[in-house]
Amino acid sequence: MVYCLQIGLMVKKYLTSKAKRPQLASLTVVILGVAALGTYILLSSHAATPAAATAEAENGTKSGTTSAIADANASGGNALRFGTVAAGTGGYTVSGNKILNASGQQVTVHGVDRPTLEWDCAGESVTGGSGGIPASDFATMRNGWNANAVRIALNQDFWLSGANRYCASYQNTVDAAVQAARANNLIVILDLHWSDQGNLANSSPGQQCMADQNSITFWQQVATKYKNNPNVWFELYNEPENISWSIWLNGGSTCGFQAVGMQQLYNAVRGTGATNLVLAGGIGYASHLDGVTPLSGTNIVYAIHPYAADSSGGNADSWSTGDWDNRFGNLAATNPVIATEFGDKQCGSTYDQGILDYFRAHQVGYTAWAWFAGGCGFPSIITDAAGDCVNSMGCVIQQDMKKYP
């Protein structure tokens, strides 16, 4: 403001001496003084950076997604970004063989599997009795590994009221994990991992050859709870095995019980009004997608579990690119495919690097088994609760994740 007044006085002197118009000169000073005062008030009102939580977007509406971003030209090295979509938020759709976010950009899943809630309703084997998956796990996945997704394994009998193994706190425990993951901008894939062969009185639910009638109830309830959260995706059944493609699709009598098919599970989800992405794993412990009959519906992704030594026979260490093509690569050319489990129980790095390169070349997403310090044979990708990578396998996966934007 002082500088503007000085300029005004200079103009007055000039006009008085040269133009001999003292009245005009005085008027000039007044005009410049008023302009300077207005400029000072305007600058003062913008001097303080608004808090991100209360900042208003320029269109006059409050932005729910303000965040600090690096800006070398800004005071303190940071500026505020208004109204942007955080990673992993917004609606997702399937278009051809691609998964698109709400902005129409392709999303490639690169994340990890987080087990324990399939066998422990409170997560106490992980947290030492405090319950649930530690929120720090999700922060480390995101910030230390650059993951954009986490797959959480579930048990339908812990969830369903009336089941022998029903756990009253389970739904809250699962939801706490979902919210902690979302707080770290992770896509959450809820995976039906263990079931009961259609018998709620079953005292030992576990991994079965296929889903059952109770699985329909499970998905109706889960989909109803999360249908308004497009960042939560549903993997209908973990690892179908020892069944035909016909039973995989439409259900039938097998393994000593009446199984339900993927189409029935999909219909149960959509019947709630949920449009969330749905994942369907193949047969042979989800190691085969060759021969699959695509489900009827929309927003469907196919899941593959290409372990180095898979249970369907053969040693995947010796698989050729042609084997990967046949099992899931060819399908990935027309439909989105995510390897929702993979790993090497021999804890070598050669297989993992090879298949990671294949995933990237064929736009196949992945979640690596597993974020759990369970040793080489599990197989685990971390060595401790801090999320330090296993050098021979987990570190290779971590390095691959960090290559993604």
Between 394 and 82, the more confident residue is 394
214 touches 222 (CB < 8 A): no
Q: What is the pLDDT of residue 296?
A: 98
Q: What is the pLDDT of residue 243?
A: 97
User: How far apart are the C-alpha atoms of 219 and 213, rounded to whole Å?
Assistant: 10
130 burial type by CB count under 10 A (0-12 exposed, 13-18 middle, 19+ buried) = exposed
Label residues 329-365 b or e (16+ Cβ within 10 Å = b).
bebbeebbbbbbbbbbbbbebebbebbbebbbebebb
**Is the pLDDT reported for residue 86 higher than 60?**
no
For the beta carbon of residue 95, count every other beta carbon within 10 angstroms: 11
Mean pLDDT rounded to a whole number for the chain: 81
Please name the residues in contact with 392: beta carbons below 8 A apart, sequence gap of 6 or more.
347, 348, 349
Q: What is the pLDDT of residue 223?
A: 98
What is the model's pTM?
A: 0.78
Q: What is the pLDDT of residue 17?
A: 41
Confidence of residue 41 (pLDDT cuts 50, 70, 90): very low
pLDDT tens digits for range 231-288: 999 999 999 999 999 999 999 999 999 999 999 999 999 999 999 999 999 999 999 9
CATH superfamily of 93-401: Glycosidases (3.20.20.80)
Q: What is the pLDDT of residue 130?
A: 52
Helix/strand number for the chain, H first, E second: 14, 14
Least confident range of 169-178, 187-196, 287-296, 312-321:
312-321
**Is the pLDDT reported for residue 82 higher than 50?**
no
Confidence of residue 99 (pLDDT cuts 50, 70, 90): very high
The domain limits of the chain are 2-81, 93-401
pLDDT tens digits for range 199-217: 999 999 999 999 999 999 9
Q: What is the pLDDT of residue 310?
A: 58
pLDDT tens digits for range 137-183: 999 999 999 999 999 999 999 999 999 999 999 999 999 999 999 99
Between 77 and 191, the more confident residue is 191
Confidence of residue 34 (pLDDT cuts 50, 70, 90): very low
